[in-house]
Chain A
């Protein structure tokens, strides 16, 4: 079983839709959770990071963490064609040094 599971998609939605992207994880020791957006042939760009369970909002983006279910989500409201990218979840554990595990990434297409 992978430490972090993420559906690779692709996920195709119409412009204006609410997008839900999800990751599950197996190790309850993960403490810090991040979402990155990666456009084709570019490096990942940090969208949001959070530590605690609950919701964190930034503009059209909401990150949700449920530590009891080992489940994290990223919601995108009023999706735009410019949101078309690969979205990677990532989570960090303190093992004496910090270790970050990335999900496989979900490819999102927002159609105009």
Chain B
């Protein structure tokens, strides 16, 4: 089992819905990330929380908003998504800013209808 836990594993939502993805890690890592991955493509960075500071990929639309309640939890709030937002959403954590790699969760497979 992965040490980064993501819930739910699957999510189907309508374009007018509001939903949240959740991520938890217990490795004491100080940085957590949200990535988006489309089929047969590499992961694309969306957000980074590192030492309680948020960094945003400026290409990510505002219908995605991250929240970091504490250093072990990371949420991604979804609102008014589009069908093209359907993808695998991956949470990851790292100790050294990714220098020694990331620990990824299993992902949430999101379908927007």
Interface set of A (CB-CB < 8 Å, partner B): 8, 32, 34, 36, 41-46, 49, 51, 88, 90, 92, 97-98, 100, 102-105
Contacts and interface: CB of A to CB of B under 8 A. Distances in A.
B107 interface: yes
Contact of B101 (A8, A46, A97, A103): A46
Interface of B: 2, 4, 40-43, 45, 48, 50, 55, 88, 90, 92, 97-107, 109
B55 A104 contact: no
Interface centre among B2, B42, B105 (most CB of A within 10 A): B42
Is chain B's binding surface mostly helix, strand, loop or mixed? loop
B52 to A, nearest CB: 14
A72 B42 CA distance: 17
Contacts, number: 58
A44 B40 contact: no
B101 A49 contact: yes
B13 to A, nearest CB: 19
Contacts of A103: 42
B98 A45 contact: no
A41 B42 CA distance: 13
Given A32-B98, A105-B42, 4 more contacts: A36-B101, A44-B102, A46-B103, A104-B42
Contact of B45 (A36, A43, A45, A100): A100
A92 B42 contact: no
A102 B98 contact: no
Nearest to A107: B40
